[in-house]
Structure 1
């Protein structure tokens, strides 16, 4: 019985594949792959944003993706990023995607960044947000203790999950 936003990217697509709601769930997404994955579950109502298609990520961007978000309120945004620099903030490689992500953040009550440990100390081309706008980061055990401690000092909740090898 929740409404969430799932942005685009390979990490959030992997997350979407794991969603098993107990009750009804409404998901708004810019990712065609996320929407397609979730559409197979009858307990999930999917709202696919429109807009200009980015063929590299099969996601939408632009004003037609952004404008419907003003009409919604969601509890959480699950956001994939291309870089996390603790001084600069979170980034992506595409300006239009950064703009859409900013609007998604305003639509959601809580911003959750899903990023593997390789994304730390990296910067993408376009800034999405400052670190103080992030509520929770979920990453893998490859994160250094120094970075983990700094994230917690910034007041950001951090969840570190073990990496499992696929057989």
Structure 2
């Protein structure tokens, strides 16, 4: 079918398509486009996502941090540098685990004093030489794949602290499924971090959108700000903003 060919050709160029854009391009209804996408997915030619289609499998398997560090490096550094500018004088912040928030630690330049609470060993190693930063390293079992801690010891500490901001990295970000990661215990620790922070800031490059991982962290509407790269579509920006989430393009 000619319509299917057009969809696949456009998807090959853009990697992700919105149903609304395809309706306008092909002058057909959303019901027709969704039927087309379902048929193409059944043939193994694409993956359906929330409100669209993608060439990438939306289901994420766990990868070692060394492998993750090599993916979207420029985008992650741009996001991290942008996020670092949100840290205030004499601030107290939470930094979760993951390569994007790990990159954040390279750009932190404290204004007077800064308190950092983190589950990431890599973040600590980046910050430990700056005497103006007070670091609380959460304790517990260490995940070898991420270089971060998990478990009840870390959760107990978080139950007794409050910070202005949480900088959270995720493996997947889907409008319906929410934020997710590959490990159940890490998702639980992330939820404790959410409860300990006044503002939730998610750092995620655009490859994470429309993706789902094994362990769900929270709903999309629990976050306050999303910092990402220019790979995000205008349609997706609009959907986040409709939920009251500030979107910042690094």
The one of 221, 229, 237 aligned to 1:140: 229
- Give the TM-score normalised by structure 2: 0.64
Q: How does 1:86-105 map to 2 (within 5 A)?
A: 86-105=175-194
Q: Does 2:100 align with 1:11?
A: yes
What TM-score do the two structures reach when normalised by structure 1? 0.95
Report whether the alignment pairs 1:35 with 2:124: yes
Quote the offset at 1:108 in angstroms: 0.4
Higher strand proportion (structure 1 or 2): 1
The 5-angstrom pairing of residues 1-150 of structure 1 reads 1-150=90-239
SS in 2 for 1:40: coil
Max radius of gyration: which structure? Answer: 2
Question: 2:244 matched to 1:151?
Answer: no
Whose relative contact order is higher, 1 or 2, with alpha carbons under 8 Å and at least 6 apart? 1
Q: CA deviation at 1:44?
A: 0.6
Q: In angstroms, what is the RMSD of aligned CA positions? A: 0.6
Distance in 1 (CA, whole Å) between partners of 2:118 and 2:205 is: 21
Give, in angstroms, the shift of residue 50 of structure 1.
Answer: 0.3
Aligned length: 161
Deviation at 1:79, TM superposition (A): 0.3
How much does 1:70 deviate?
Answer: 1.2
- Give the CA deviation at 1:39: 0.8
- Partner-residue secondary structure (3-state), 1:71: coil
Q: Which runs of 5+ in 2 are unaligned?
A: 1-89
- The structure richer in helix per residue is 2
Measured in 1, the distance between the counterparts of 2:228 and 2:162 equals 26
Distance 1:149 1:71 in 2: 36
Deviation string for 1:60-117 (max 9, x for gaps)?
0000111001111100000000000011110000000000000000000011000000
